[in-house]
Amino acid sequence: MALDGKTAIVTGAAMGIGKAITEILLKNGAKVAVLDVNKVEGENLVKDLNKEYGADRALFLSCNVESDEEFKAAFQKAAEAFGAIDILCNNAGILNEEKWQDMISINLAGVIRGTYLALEHMRKTNGGGGGVIVNIASMAGLGPLLTCPVYTATKHGVIGFTRAVAAASAASNYGIRVNALCPSFVGTELFTTIEHKLGQFAHLKGAANQLVEKLGVLNTPEVAECILELVTDETKNGEAFMVRTEMKGYVPFPSLSSTDKP
């Protein structure tokens, strides 16, 4: 899928990984709607991006992914401004084990909400042009992060939802691919402020620090490169792509097909 002339929505795009995703999509010719709850950061970013990439290439839309109305309105405004939507990156997420209900609401329900809205706008069986959705999960969606059980649960949920909806979209001829990205640690505000956001298992932070030592810390452009691969490779649907400092690749899952022997 070439990105020239394509249009994208990125959630949680005012900073961190979402900002890097926005930049790589713009660099490759797409127009991007930057959705975020942080109006100041979002508006400033879009001002700078439009100076760098050309007027009206980026659009800021204030949107909390927890709100059906705000998300719906943002999709509508982006579609009106750009003509259609081809790409959605469900990136908005938080890590705060003390506010675990908020994490479920943003990290998992927000991804489901965004995906279902995108299916309505983009599916070929509803007059749309098809497209691609990338959900930002985490390596914590593949295995347990001891200090963060609820964060781990939300990211496992994102991967399960992504795989199921991808298969359902293909079986329904929607023309929409859905994939998940699973980065290890990335040097953003979410990562650098973690110490203050651990809940009852904060005493295990030594183990988390050892994991950081072992896995290292990615930078946001490295993560954005992987998004580009998931967006442009039209052979990929229902995949989880893991990226770590020393390796990256598609994650194998056990086959549970009824034709397989146990």
Site string for ligand LF5ATMIK, 202-241 (x = CB under 6 A): ------x--x------------------------------
Shortest Cβ 61–ligand NAI spacing (Å) = 10
Shortest Cβ 251–ligand LF5ATMIK spacing (Å) = 11
Residue nearest to ligand LF5ATMIK as judged by C-beta position: 143
Q: How far apart are CA 107 and CA 102, in angstroms?
A: 8
Query: What 3-state class would DSSP assign to 136?
Result: strand
Shortest Cβ 98–ligand LF5ATMIK spacing (Å) = 14
Residues binding ligand NAI (CB under 6 A): 11-12, 14-18, 36-38, 63-66, 91-94, 106, 136, 138, 183, 185-186, 188-191
Sheet containing 58-62, strands listed edge to edge, beginning at the edge strand earlier in sequence: 58-62, 31-36, 7-11, 87-90, 131-136, 176-183, 240-243, 248-250
Site string for ligand LF5ATMIK, 76-115 (x = CB under 6 A): -------------------x--------------------
Q: Which residue, 128 or 141, is less far from ligand LF5ATMIK as judged by CB?
A: 141
Please confirm, yes or no, whether 151 is among the known catalytic residues.
yes
Does 191 interact with ligand LF5ATMIK (rule: CB under 6 A)?
yes
Q: How far apart are CA 98 and CA 203, in angstroms?
A: 14
Indicate which of ligand NAI, ligand LF5ATMIK, none lies near residue 165 (CB less than 5 to 8 Å, by partner kind): none
Q: Which residue, 34 or 140, is less far from ligand LF5ATMIK as judged by CB?
A: 140
Shortest Cβ 15–ligand NAI spacing (Å) = 4
Does 153 interact with ligand LF5ATMIK (rule: CB under 6 A)?
no
One residue of 13, 24, 133, 140 binding ligand LF5ATMIK per CB under 6 A: 140
**Residue 34: its H or E element:** strand 31-36
Q: How far apart are CA 91 and CA 86, in angstroms?
A: 16
Indicate which of ligand LF5ATMIK, ligand NAI, none lies near residue 16 (CB less than 5 to 8 Å, by partner kind): ligand NAI
User: Directed axis angle between helix 16-27 and helix 220-232, to 10°?
Assistant: 50
Burial of 70 (C-beta count, 10 Å sphere; 0-12/13-18/19+)? middle
Q: Which residue, 41 or 233, is less far from ligand NAI as judged by CB?
A: 41
Q: Which of 181, 227, 184, 187 is nearest to 26 (CA)?
A: 227
Q: How far apart are CA 20 and CA 147, in angstroms?
A: 27
Q: What is the DSSP letter of 243?
A: E
Contacts of 254 (CB under 8 A, 6+ apart): none
Catalytic positions, please? 151
